[in-house]
Amino acid sequence: MPSHAAVTVACDVKDLALADTGKRRIEWAFQSMPVLQTIRKQFIKTQPLRDIRVAACLHVTAETANLLIAMRDGGANIVLCASNAWSTQDDVASSLVRDYNIPVYANMGENHEAHYSHILAALDHQPQITMDDGADLVTNLHTKRQELLDNVMGGTEETATGVLRLEAMAKEGLLRYPIIAIHGALTNHLFDNRYGTGQSTIDGILRATNMLLAGMTVVVAGYGWCGRGVAMRAHGLGANVIVTEIDPTKAIEAIMDGFRVMSMGEAAVIGDLFITLTGNKSVIARDHFEKLKNGAILCNSGHSNVEIDLDVLASLASSRRPAREFVEEFALRDGRKVYVLGEGRPINLTAAEGQPASVMDMSFANQALSVDYIAKNHASLEKRVYQVPEDLDKQVAKMKLESMGVKIDRLTPEQEHYLASWSEGT
């Protein structure tokens, strides 16, 4: 095992002495990532990313570490910074540097200035491919390091919020290279967002509060892929779930899934626990704070901490204090107390460990295959946001099933003919 003195790659991590724990964590996650293991084996043989410079701005977790190791083993010259200042696993960051020679710029809880200086440090690597989660790397590249843009082949974007930002850039003609939206892959959002965020959000809330969800009224804002997962899991634990939405179709779906649907204004009066997963801002705002029950608990699992209007809540409070780790009490002037978890940041990453490795296995398989696709096809791609090619998405699903030892049926030639024909079946 190399000593700290042997570390040669550039980095800004909290403490290299944490690397032993980080390495064990990376190895533990690796066992639950069979698809990524298969891709890594292929990459080692074929070296599809040989000498390509890649900058990744992702949650610095054990699962991400395994993605980066697979890409490094495929020949990529890769560097990592954090997509969220509060999700970094410092031990994992240290192990990536010490044990895998991957430069990392990330500290858990880094301030705004450090966070953005780390993004710029990753851009100093002069990436030819970017990997983003929330579009901060891409926007900084387009605004502060424009001289590097001509050498960029393409990029990937992991999350719904980032995809919206990039589509807005493309619409205004500002996006200077193609991006593949990992979020759009079925093997991403059907599992990562629904089952991964669904479970880990509840995990974060329980670790932060140690509450019993059974019998509570839980308000889930947003019935997208993440919201569906959280609502389903909260219901499974005995909570009485209310959904709020702005999309009429999703609202009907929530009703037919058995949940009550109402406006946030109505829900504010009766909710015990509020969880936002919309990707939008000010979903819980002044009007709602004024109606909350004494003891109401607010948290977010959407991408950024703007879903709950915390500045306004602070302005309504006469005092605030930590109630326990990850829980802050706001004493309002009228005597009510309201609790905010994890300062409104994604609670599954702040108070728990983010998505379990077995779902990130598929999301990150899409990432690895999409980066490979960009390396091979960038010359023919336009400067816009693309979906993950369907055959890559299906390939990931097949590999996951194989790893589970599950076989499914295949179409017989007659069935293929029947499905493709307009004249059969009458």
Smaller CB separation from ligand NAD, 85 or 121: 85
Query: Minimum distance from CB of 247 to ligand NAD (Å)?
Result: 4
Smaller CB separation from ligand NAD, 19 or 62: 62
Smaller CB separation from ligand NAD, 348 or 366: 348
Smaller CB separation from ligand NAD, 99 or 203: 203
Q: Which residues bind to ligand NAD, rule: CB under 6 A?
A: 159-161, 189, 193, 197, 221-227, 244-247, 250, 277-280, 283, 301-303, 346, 348-349, 354
Smaller CB separation from ligand NAD, 16 or 29: 29
Query: Minimum distance from CB of 51 to ligand NAD (Å)?
Result: 32
Query: Minimum distance from CB of 271 to ligand NAD (Å)?
Result: 13
Query: Minimum distance from CB of 347 to ligand NAD (Å)?
Result: 8
Cα separation, 65 vs 82, in Å, equals 12
Q: At what angle do helices 34-46 and 390-404 cross, to 10 degrees?
A: 120
| Exposed / middle / buried, residue 114 (Cβ in 10 Å: 0-12, 13-18, 19+) | middle
Query: Minimum distance from CB of 219 to ligand NAD (Å)?
Result: 10
Query: Minimum distance from CB of 49 to ligand NAD (Å)?
Result: 25
Smaller CB separation from ligand NAD, 247 or 290: 247
Query: Minimum distance from CB of 134 to ligand NAD (Å)?
Result: 7
The residue of the chain with the least Cβ separation from ligand NAD equals 224
Query: Minimum distance from CB of 100 to ligand NAD (Å)?
Result: 24
Smaller CB separation from ligand NAD, 23 or 288: 288
Smaller CB separation from ligand NAD, 246 or 381: 246
